[in-house]
Structure 1
Amino acid sequence: MGIRRWACAAFGIAIAASVISGCGGGSDDTEKSANGLEKTELKVGTLPIVDDAPFYLALKNGYFKAEGLKVTPMTLANGEEGITRLQSGGVDVAWSSYPNAIMATDSGKVQLRIVVDGYTATKHLFPVLAMPKSKIKKPADLAGKKVSVNGLKGLGPLLLSSALKTAGVDPKSVHMVATPFPQMPAQLQSGAIDAAWITEPFVTQASQKLGATEIIDTATGPADGLPIAGFVASGAGAKKYPKALAAFQRAMAKAQALATNRAQVEQILPTYIKTITPQVASTITIGSYPTSLNKARLQRVPDLMQEFGLIQNHLDMQTMLLSQSQ
């Protein structure tokens, strides 16, 4: 009888422990019962670039915390890595340029959903620069020359091709070479490249330190005000965690609105981009930060990509948008 009583008591303790554990130890269940979210911890792939300023404003000002989220930034090497880590489950949300996300979706290998429309081009944000003593003085002079872009597929070739065509220059006459943005000023100075398709803060740094001059502004004409990049999630993640992603959207909407105040952006940039000083932050060109997902605006990107052969088929951007929660 003693053994039976001990066994029953042990069984009862185990059941009680199981109940207590179920109430306090299972993270997803606990999070859902606590605030209605499927999960409260999100890993977010980010890049140390001007585009991501609203994300860091949201962290600084507690916007994610106010929505019941604990958000951990995961630094990416580039936008392509973000898509790869979304597929593997390494991150829940990732920053990506729209051309990269659209090409990945168009390939049929991955389903992506745009959670936040992050950044929009403005004039002089993506110029082509050449050294002051270069013989390149106008767009036509770029024919036959080496022009660096940050990748041979994606935003660089798209904007450069569009601007060249608008200026009456055959995009195929320009030899595009892949170069990371941070290396462009040095390669420009050494003569390894003839010109650089470049963005901030490297535009300002190359202009101030090297005297580099603008040959053509690629964020004009068909690319004037073009959506550039945003935060995306996998299709599977969007189905599994709709409330958590809606909370992320709400927090980012506040931060995107705050980022319309340039002073806020200038203050946050040096905190996560170590190469930017407060002085540089006060002088660089900064694009705009949308506060909503607009299908008509975003549709411009795949339409322009199809025109220049980056994708073969028409893509309806509505299929990539994650509905916004009010």
Structure 2
Amino acid sequence: MKKWVKTGAFFLLTCLLIIPLAACGKEEMQKVRVAEVTRSIFYAPQYVALEKGFFKEEGLDVDLKTTAGGDKTMTALLSNGADVALVGSETSIYVAAQGSKDPVINFAQLTQTDGTFLVSRKKIENFDWNMLKGTTFLGQRKGGMPQMVGEFVLKKHGIDPHGDLKLIQNIDYANVSTAFASGTGDFVQLFEPTASVFEKEGKGHIVASFGTESGHVPYTTFMTKQSYMEKNKETVEKFTRAVKKAQDWVQKQSAEETAKVIQPFFEDTDLETIETVIDRYKSQGSFATDPILDQKEWDNLQDIMDEAGELPGRIDYNKLVNTEFAEKVSK
């Protein structure tokens, strides 16, 4: 009898010790809800951070959701539907211009160039931007970064977007590629992997890169509300460190290896296409090599917005950009 009592007591004591430890283990994982503006190979380092467990290594349980469109992504962040948003930095400027008392702060840059390409319906051996004059150009939605960068690049090459060609920009983002495939336009501005798929299927031919032409710009950045950052500094730092680990990994690995890692996020895209897209973005320097959003990039962003007539007012770099965490994890 005494033996059974001792055994039972030992078992009970063991459970009392193990259960709190297990509970503590769960409590250490900090949940972070991330809203991404779209699902895109352009954001490869983010998916690498998830698949390779870099967020988990930092004690973070990242819940990623796609909220189609910059307005919906920002709404999710502002309404506390998300803790962190992955979206274009111009959205933080729009929010600040509306007089928000809790500004949205850019803290970790993911992509540093535009991610669109100029696709021609016909194959062109020696492309020149002047070839767009007198043609029908199927652009992106007015007010968005793709459209602003598109017009910026056209003007850079001496082309008046509203005078030298027929500019169509009233088609929803999701339907632009379909419209071109069905015969609308001589040229179109497309994201990957659609641009590469069209080229592979003979529906179009990539003739130029808007990312290469527009220079470095904080095209897609992780951001959060100032109030969240102040209350969760350790979490933001851990998140940024995981992003930096992923950025380093992508730079060191081949496009093929990166494609294999992120393929679960793109089940409808074949591995060869994913690899082609990653190689193209990597070769033109679209993936930021560190999470630091610098002053020059911020100024270039506002210049592009201003040129497009979409800048509500110049916003000081230090008001909406915090590089404290990015600089710390990049040392």
Offset, 1:147 = 3.1
**Could you tell me how far apart the structure 2 residues matched to 1:88 and 1:31 are?**
30
TM-score normalised by the chain length of structure 2? 0.78
The letter of the residue matching 1:49 is S
The letter of the residue matching 2:288 is Y
- 1:195-214: per-residue Cα shift (whole Å, max 9, x none)? 21112111101111134134
Question: Closer, same or farther in 2 for the Cα pair 1:51/1:127, shift >3 Å?
Answer: closer
Question: Is the aligned partner of 1:61 residue 2:52?
Answer: yes
**Could you tell me how far apart the structure 2 residues matched to 1:172 and 1:215 are?**
21
SS of the residue aligned with 1:303? helix
**Could you tell me how far apart the structure 2 residues matched to 1:89 and 1:53 are?**
26
The letter of the residue matching 2:93 is I
2:178 maps to 186
Offset, 1:118 = 0.4
SS of the residue aligned with 1:227? coil
Question: Closer, same or farther in 2 for the Cα pair 1:182/1:205, shift >3 Å?
Answer: farther
CA contact (8 A) 1:42 1:72 kept: yes
1:206-285 alignment, distance < 5 Å: 206-214=198-206, 216-221=208-213, 223-260=214-251, 261=253, 262-284=255-277, 285=280
Question: Closer, same or farther in 2 for the Cα pair 1:178/1:272, shift >3 Å?
Answer: farther
2:71 maps to 80
CA contact (8 A) 2:48 2:262 kept: no
Question: Which of 171, 174, 177 does residue 169 from structure 2 map onto?
Answer: 177
- For structure 2, the 5+ residue unaligned runs are 1-19
Question: Is the aligned partner of 1:148 residue 2:141?
Answer: no
1:12 maps to none
1:301 maps to 301
Question: Closer, same or farther in 2 for the Cα pair 1:117/1:103, shift >3 Å?
Answer: same
1:42 maps to 32
- 1:49-81: per-residue Cα shift (whole Å, max 9, x none)? 012222221122221112111111112212322
CA contact (8 A) 1:227 1:298 kept: yes
| Percent identical | 19
2:3 maps to none
CA contact (8 A) 1:53 1:268 kept: no
Question: Is the aligned partner of 1:115 residue 2:114?
Answer: no
2:7 maps to none
CA contact (8 A) 1:53 1:269 kept: yes
Aligned residues: 292
Offset, 1:133 = 7.8
Question: Which of 76, 81, 97 does residue 88 from structure 2 map onto?
Answer: 97
Q: Which moved more, 1:106-115 or 1:42-51?
A: 106-115
1:316 maps to 316
Question: Closer, same or farther in 2 for the Cα pair 1:292/1:189, shift >3 Å?
Answer: closer
2:153 maps to 163
CA contact (8 A) 2:141 2:173 kept: no
- 1:159-199: per-residue Cα shift (whole Å, max 9, x none)? 11111111111123242414455533331122234421112
Offset, 1:143 = 4.6
2:10 maps to none
- For structure 1, the 5+ residue unaligned runs are 1-23
